[in-house]
Amino acid sequence: MATPKKKQGKTSDQHGTTQVKGTLAQDYVTVVGASYISLVANIRGQRGNMMNFINQGIRQLKSYPPSTQSYSIQRAFFIFKDEYDPKLLAEVKKIVTERYGAEYREYDSISQLVDFVATRKRRGREIKQMDFFSHGVVGSIELGYELDKRDSYRLRDAQARMFTPDAFAYGAKIYSYACRTGLGINADLKVGENENPHYELSLAQVMADATGAAVWAFPRRSLYDQTYGTDEERATVEKAPAKLEADKAASRAYRKKLSDYQRRLSAYRAAQKDANAQLSNETAPAAPVKTLSERDAALLKQAQGRERYKDTLGYPLDAEGAIHGVRSGNTPDGVPKKLCEYKPAK
């Protein structure tokens, strides 16, 4: 971790501020795991779940500060490529690099990610934020869950301890959206009242101690079920095309009525030789109120974008990213149902 330069300042008689000036260029890194899809789901073309990690990664990428021309700030998107269609990866690369100005890399081993972290200081860079979107089990982030390469893709304590503080910026944060990264015992359904969850043994705590960064992780399983919106939003999107067409029809009718009114008004004023004359017992038609809100229109546009990619690539890729972020699941019960912070112990 680069040593920051500090300068004391005052905002009032009661409140002081500390201005921290970073010494190295900074990276904001999204790491996307490979995604297992069952044979039945693949045959049926049900590939929405397979795209959860990618679409969440794109959403996260958008939230980072934009990359600068000098590369003092750099967005980065790393994806573990096993089982992803090369045509899909090519389109993801195009979105990531051209639309969001980020560095794009495909990884085929956890050692490649470890090497990236190890080279930060030598290259005059440091990681300000790192986000993982992947499957997970207690003790590991499964970047290749259920796949043939799962052993070489797995991030466990041994790899996490190779993430040294020199690679991470002052105030750096790591987020794991994999299941149970924040739990230290192999609990499945419940952690009993008298049972110690051993947060200090969790992978999240191991990473915090190794990097000196604050790590945020779920002690429960994580849910990607709102990647394409809530149940209510998805139902709204289904009704949105009809509302959009109704709004267009109402707009066309309004424009016709307005044109007719303006034509009659102009003729009347010409006849009266009065530029301010008004038609008796008649006012301009009122513009229609849209039935489709801006929010619902945006959701429809995203859904249509996913459909286009599904038609051309076979996968519902979302160039705008997931609608909502990852949330906590329900199991195991007995531990917090939220992202929890794990601070370095030393």
DSSP string, 232-260: HHHHHHHHHHHHHHHHHHHHHHHHHHHHH
36 pLDDT tier (thresholds 50, 70, 90): confident
**pLDDT of residue 38 exceeding 90:** no
For residue 51, the model assigns a pLDDT of 95
- Which residues, other chains included, contact 122 with Cβ-Cβ below 8 Å and sequence gap of 6+? none
Is 17 a domain residue?
A: no
Region of 231 on the Ramachandran plot (φ > 0 left; ψ -120 to 50 alpha; else beta): alpha
For residue 45, the model assigns a pLDDT of 59
Mean pLDDT of 222-226: 96
Shared domain check, 190 and 86: yes
Q: Are the beta carbons of 335 and 198 closer than 8 angstroms?
A: no
Nearest residue to 104 (alpha-carbon basis) of 126, 131, 79, 124: 79
Shared domain check, 252 and 156: no
Is 123 a domain residue?
A: yes
Shared domain check, 174 and 60: yes
2 pLDDT tier (thresholds 50, 70, 90): low
21 pLDDT tier (thresholds 50, 70, 90): very low
Residue 308: give the domain boundaries. Answer: 231-313
18 pLDDT tier (thresholds 50, 70, 90): very low
Mean pLDDT of 151-166: 97
Mean pLDDT of 38-44: 62
254 pLDDT tier (thresholds 50, 70, 90): very high
Burial of 192 (0-12, 13-18, 19+ CB in 10 A): exposed
Shared domain check, 146 and 36: yes
Q: Mean pLDDT over all residues of the chain?
A: 92
Could you report the per-residue pLDDT of 98-134, keeping only the tens digit for each? Answer: 999 999 999 999 999 999 999 999 999 999 999 999 9
How many domains are there within the chain? 2
Shared domain check, 109 and 220: yes
Mean pLDDT of 161-170: 96
In 113-157, the DSSP E strands lie at 125-133, 135-137, 140-142, 154-155
- Geometric angle at alpha carbon 113, from 134 and 227, rounded to 5°: 25
Nearest residue to 315 (alpha-carbon basis) of 39, 36, 31, 42: 42
Mean pLDDT of 318-325: 98
Mean pLDDT of 203-207: 98
Shared domain check, 245 and 143: no
Region of 129 on the Ramachandran plot (φ > 0 left; ψ -120 to 50 alpha; else beta): beta
Cα–Cα dist 262/285, whole Å: 10
Torsion 94-96-100-101 (CA) sign = negative
Shared domain check, 337 and 219: yes
Mean pLDDT of 310-317: 95
Mean pLDDT of 65-84: 96
Shared domain check, 297 and 195: no
